[in-house]
Structure 1
Amino acid sequence: MIIRLATRRDLAAWADLRAALWPDGSVEEHRAEAEDALNQPDGLVAYVAETPDGVIAGFAEAALRRDYVNGCDSSPVAFVEGLYVRPEHRKADIARRLCAAVADWGRTQGCTELASDAEIHNLESHAFHQAIGFEETERVVYFRMTL
């Protein structure tokens, strides 16, 4: 398995993986967002996990957050914006390796903290984060009101 920066040739597979993680958007919308990320070198960074036979098995996206990041003391903070591995490739250390690539990138950007989040009901993600060295910092419930 090779962990590397995403490129234009990965757009179709990357968009499919994004749609699997975030199903509220269409594959076309995800492809446009991924393409935008490639066109903005100071924005989102993405890593893909590629099998020896060329299958994109997973991805991680990260960004520098300069605003307040829950539980962090520094700025900027490298933030894992999205992480997904195809079900048939899970339990093979791919997500851990993708996060390690993001952490290395964060260090090169001068960050001293890596942060992430997960939905409150996603216990598998909570366990994964803790297993690779993240510590839970707080839980937040968001509210909204129509005006």
Structure 2
Amino acid sequence: MTKAGWRIVPLDETLLAQWATLRQQLWPHHKMAAHQQEGAELLAAAHLNAFLVLDEQSQAVAFADAALRHDYVNGCESSPVVYLEGIYVQPASRRRGLAQALIARVAQWGRELGCRELASDAAIDNLASQQLHQRLGFAETERVVFFKKALG
């Protein structure tokens, strides 16, 4: 997909470093080496995919990670489901429709794999992500609080 000089491409080995850098901006609490390792795993797994938005200079300015999930996905009625694992647009490139274009590409990939639903999640306190999801056409399905109990 091309939009005013921007293009969306699937992740490949040549773009791995740029993708990892964008992921580091979204998830700075993970080490860069972890992002790079996840990228190698993503490239080797048929049920995982990532798409990048490249600008006119072929620099990555946004990404979306997606997975094909066969397990139960909260709020969904079908299986498999394409699941948006993460999406990020650099601040200087926001408000240009890039997130919407990435979602359209992820949805296309899901349809190609037989999916009828696209799902995602956001932390309960991440209001910016929740608002982005709503602007991108997602409907909230439920809220969950996770618990644990040590068995030691």
Q: Which TM-score bucket, shorter chain as reference?
A: over 0.9
Instruction: Report the counterpart of residue 49 of structure 1 in structure 2.
Output: 53
Shift of 1:77: 0.4
Q: SS in structure 2 opposite 1:29?
A: helix
Q: 1:143 aligns with which of 121, 144, 147?
A: 147
Structure 1 unaligned residues grouped into runs of 5+: none
Q: Which amino acid aligns with 2:28?
A: P
CA deviation string 1:19-62 (max 9, x = no partner): 2222221111101110121122x131000000011110011011
Q: What are the within-5 Å matches in structure 2 for residues 1-147 of structure 1?
A: 1-40=6-45, 42-147=46-151
Overall identity of the aligned pairs, in %: 47
Root-mean-square deviation (Å): 1.0
Q: Distance in 2 between matches of 1:75 and 1:115?
A: 11
Q: What amino acid maps onto 1:132 in structure 2?
A: L
Residue-by-residue CA offset, 1:59-113 (whole Å, 9 max, x unaligned): 1011111111010000000000111111111111111111110000000000000
* 1:52 alignment partner, SS class: coil
Q: Which structure 2 segments of 5+ residues have no match?
A: 1-5
Deviation above 4 Å: which 4+ runs of structure 1? none
When normalised by structure 2's length, the TM-score is 0.92
Deviations 1:99-135 (A, max 9, x none): 1100000000000000001111111111111112110
Counterpart of 2:77 in structure 1: which amino acid? D
AA matched with 1:83: I
What is the one-letter code of the residue matched to 1:37?
Answer: L
Number of residue-to-residue matches in the alignment: 146
State the distance in 2 between where 1:49 and 1:16 align: 13
Counterpart amino acid of residue 74 in structure 2:
N
